[in-house]
Structure 1
Amino acid sequence: MSSAMTATATSSRYRGSLAGRVTLLTTLAVAGSIAMIAIGLYFVVRIQLQANMDESLLKRANVAAANTASIQDTRTGNAFPTWVLNAGDIQIAEVVDAHNYWSPTYGTFPLPGNPEEAVAKGKAKQAVRTIHTQNGVFRVVSVPIPDSNSALMLAQSLEPQQAMYKRLGLVVLLFGAAGVVAAAFAGWVVAAGGLRPVRRLTASVDRIATTEDLAPLPVEGDDEIARLATSFNRMLSAVSASRDRQRQLVADASHELRTPLTSLRTNVELLTQADASITGEQRAELLGDIRAQIEELTNLIGDLVELARDAPAEPTLETVDLSEVVDRALSRVRLRAPSVTFTEELAPWWVMADASSLERAVTNLLDNAAKWSPESGTVHIGLHDGELTVDDEGPGIAEDDIPYIFDRFYRSTEARSMPGSGLGLAIVRQVAERTGGSVSAARSPHGGARMIMHLPGSPSPRPAEPPTAVLNN
């Protein structure tokens, strides 16, 4: 249930093509960046324009306040500065005190308030603020008039500036939208171009899955896609080698099974077709041959099963004394080779391994030495510091055969006339490698062959840690 839910969540999370997701993410990222830049630009420009207006108004107000020339208004009797005649874009008022003021444009000028009165009374050097009236929004500055208890108040309508703000916002919005569209197109182009090698790689992998042609993929460039293709090629090489080994195993197994099966079938047919002319001794001999062939066939099938799997299905790891394993294997081999003499010098060596597999490997080494030993020959067995050596007094191993004797089904020219399947030493190497050790072959000082198996462990009953190869398998 949990696995199904996880698979569903993963499927919904990555729904859609990779190119579409790249395009969407690129568009969102650029859109977010453009939005932040546009908003920042809009407010920076607005603040700067407002600051410029305030600075201009303050300069004009200070210049006007310093100009003492005035003109008499004959209708009201009031005097006003001469620069008023050139201030058509500004509403003007002169604050006389907290309650009296005048302006050439009484109807539209915003009324002064506390900030302006504070400037007139000398409590503030200047005042700058925005005033909302029925006639619109005004930006108002006030400065004191020298040598008087009054202040000059200038007001300028913000309607033209607000109209410019709207135009600026519209321009920023249009250019931002255009930038998002351009980013989406650029993201699509980049995704399409960048994922083109991925699509080619996908098509090649699909072709391999359909045709089972394990030819290497072409590698272009030195980027991540090229490294991915290189990894695929290494995987294809491993799969191809595994398939070749499987085919070779099947072919060799078929060849090895053919001989005992043919002999077994022949002997069974002789028994079924025999009449009263066959003697009891001949029947016993045929039955003995059948039993030997069945045993050989059983051993061959067991060896094939052991070698067919890369690792034991359920390995049982335990601390075992290799010297005891050698003793048990030796007692079995002595029964099968009564004419051969076995000498042993064994020192305790404790290893972490599967006891049954290890005993089978040691038995194969001893069987191989007994098989090649001459009549009344001697097999010398030694175990010191984790190194097990098995020496026979046979003809030895040719130098050309030493690199291959641990391969599956490999049999030298001299061994092809003798019983065996060529799997015993391959099992020895497999067990040794699973236990974290190794196996090798050399010439024996006794004239024959020497088999050397080295296993990691310790002379005490508790190895410090299990071998690395065992943990990995």
Structure 2
Amino acid sequence: MAAAVAVAIAVCAVACWIIVRGEMVKHLDRGLQGPPGPEGARKRAQDIAMILKHCADPRAARGDPLRAYVPPLQFIYAADGRRCVLSPGGLPVTAADRAIAAHGGKVIKDATTDSGMAVRVKTQQIAPGVAVMESRSLAELHSTLARLAGLLATVAALGALGAASVGLLISRTALRPVGKLTGAVEHVGRTGDLATRIPVEGTDEIARLGAAFNSMTSALARSRDRQRRLITDAGHELRTPLTSLRANIDLLLRSEHTGRAIDPAAKRRLLGSLKAQFEELSTLVGDLLQLARPEGDHKPGEPIAFHDLVGVAVARARLRAPAVHVTIDLSPWHVTGHAPTLSRAVMNLLDNAVKFSPPGGTVEVRLREGRLTVRDHGPGVPAEDLEHVFDRFWRSPTARSLPGSGLGLAIVAQAARDVGGEAGMANAQGGGAEAWMSLPGVVFSSPVNN
């Protein structure tokens, strides 16, 4: 910016000098035309007539006192190029000057006298075969233009310096937020401190960049905190099944090493426990992998008939829990998402309802305009626990004796958020709990009831 201002000042200074020079030259040329008005023209004609008579006298070649009373003039004759000089120094006569004396015309130009003085010369025919060359010194014009050039150069230099100073001040002020942002980024890169924030003022692009940086570090901090909590909670949850597995396997190994056989019934129970523990561990690892995936980090969605997906999940739930009656009331609903993820979320809702339903109880499944509700008729959820049911690894005190890792409903919430939906739970009127998942989508046909 400062460079552009300096160039603009320089261009203005040069233009000013050129304009002033042009006006001064015009003023000088007007002086060569003689006094203005009819009276001036008449007096000029009289002077020229007197000088022509004087030039006819050979004494004009010598320093005649007449030269002190007339302007710097020089007469030239076309016939032989002879000149009559009435000025401190004569002017060189060119072929163009002789042509004007012979044929007429007028020209104004710069020239140099015999003594080396720069002058402005007007050559004009005044009589057939005779032309007059009137000159004015350019010394004062050149001196004035030189002083003007020096003044303009000084002003331009001061202007450029001032522009550079102002530009530097403005750039430092404008780039100060960028410096803060750079420092914050370097600090985060050096220390990993995602709690770093920069102050945001205004609504310009720099402010938006600062706000975006703060949002990014906040999101990264939340993601890192979630991962840390997940690792900590996963380690705690994995410890129990791994300890149980290790104890059972140690018991089998000791039996083999000592030769002391285990009672067949006890061995069957032990192997059944091992299988159940492996299944629990496998489920827990799968849930952990599902939750470890950052939210929003999934493949592009595909069209899914969500009502069909729910119907398939209900059929599986009926096979897995034949003692519980599952009813469905489904309206067609089509969504865009990842079918395995949504299927697992629906199964988790059904498994949770079945787990808390008494033998012979009923689980009601209903889908209307993208809102899937699963209601059980169990004990319900204490009011103070409702806000925690979708937390990772959270289990109510009354459910800790039941199988599960505390990750099922957390997976439901994440699956809903992945497609722009949400999930929740509330106690139902008449007893039991009602979990729901609402997904954006479209309807294509009329409800189907079973």
Q: Paired residues, what number?
A: 429
Q: Distance in 2 between matches of 1:197 and 1:86?
A: 77
Q: Secondary structure at the match of 1:380?
A: strand
CA contact (8 A) 1:61 1:153 kept: no
Structure 1 match to 2:319: 335
Q: Secondary structure at the match of 2:400?
A: helix
1:181 is displaced (CA, Å) by 5.0
Structure 2 counterpart of 1:156, which letter?
R
Are 1:376 and 2:360 an aligned pair? Answer: yes
CA contact (8 A) 1:61 1:154 kept: no
Are 1:30 and 2:5 an aligned pair? Answer: yes
Structure 1 counterpart of 2:348, which letter?
N
Structure 2 match to 1:273: 254
The alpha-carbon distance between structure 1 residues 172 and 332, as it changes in their structure 2 partners (threshold 3 A), is same
Structure 1 match to 2:236: 255
Q: Distance in 1 between matches of 2:16 and 2:315?
A: 93
Structure 1 counterpart of 2:391, which letter?
D
Q: Distance in 2 between matches of 1:314 and 1:230?
A: 26
Q: Find the partner of 1:237 among 218, 222, 229.
A: 218
CA contact (8 A) 1:387 1:455 kept: yes
Q: 186-195 or 251-260, which moves further after superposition? A: 186-195
CA contact (8 A) 2:388 2:394 kept: yes
Q: Distance in 1 between matches of 2:304 and 2:195?
A: 46
Structure 2 match to 1:104: 86
The alpha-carbon distance between structure 1 residues 96 and 416, as it changes in their structure 2 partners (threshold 3 A), is same
CA contact (8 A) 1:340 1:378 kept: yes
1:325-378 superposed Cα distances (whole Å, 9 cap, x missing partner): 223222322233221111222333333322211211111111011001011111
Q: 442-451 or 277-286, which moves further after superposition? A: 442-451
> Within 5 Å, which residues of 2 pair with 1:47-446?
47-60=22-35, 63=40, 65-66=42-43, 68=46, 70=50, 73=54, 75-76=57-58, 85-87=68-70, 90-93=71-74, 102-105=84-87, 108-109=90-91, 111=93, 128-131=108-111, 135=116, 137-141=118-122, 153-173=133-153, 176-177=156-157, 179-180=159-160, 183-184=163-164, 187-188=167-168, 190-192=170-172, 194-217=174-197, 219=199, 222=202, 228-274=209-255, 276=260, 278-311=262-295, 315=299, 317-445=301-429
The alpha-carbon distance between structure 1 residues 381 and 351, as it changes in their structure 2 partners (threshold 3 A), is same
Structure 2 counterpart of 1:202, which letter?
T
TM-score with structure 1 setting the length: 0.76
Q: Distance in 2 between matches of 1:444 and 1:107?
A: 121
The alpha-carbon distance between structure 1 residues 184 and 150, as it changes in their structure 2 partners (threshold 3 A), is same
The alpha-carbon distance between structure 1 residues 236 and 352, as it changes in their structure 2 partners (threshold 3 A), is closer
Q: Distance in 2 between matches of 1:457 and 1:141?
A: 94
Q: Distance in 1 between matches of 2:149 and 2:88?
A: 34
Structure 2 counterpart of 1:33, which letter?
A
Structure 2 match to 1:18: none
Q: Distance in 2 between matches of 1:300 and 1:337?
A: 20
RMSD over aligned Cα atoms: 3.9
Structure 2 match to 1:11: none
CA contact (8 A) 1:260 1:297 kept: yes
Q: Secondary structure at the match of 2:410?
A: helix
Q: 342-351 or 370-379, which moves further after superposition? A: 342-351
Q: Secondary structure at the match of 1:51?
A: helix
Q: Secondary structure at the match of 1:269?
A: helix
The alpha-carbon distance between structure 1 residues 75 and 148, as it changes in their structure 2 partners (threshold 3 A), is closer
Q: 384-393 or 173-182, which moves further after superposition? A: 173-182
Structure 2 match to 1:467: none
Structure 1 counterpart of 2:86, which letter?
P
The alpha-carbon distance between structure 1 residues 200 and 319, as it changes in their structure 2 partners (threshold 3 A), is closer
Are 1:46 and 2:21 an aligned pair? Answer: yes
Q: Distance in 1 between matches of 2:314 and 2:321?
A: 10
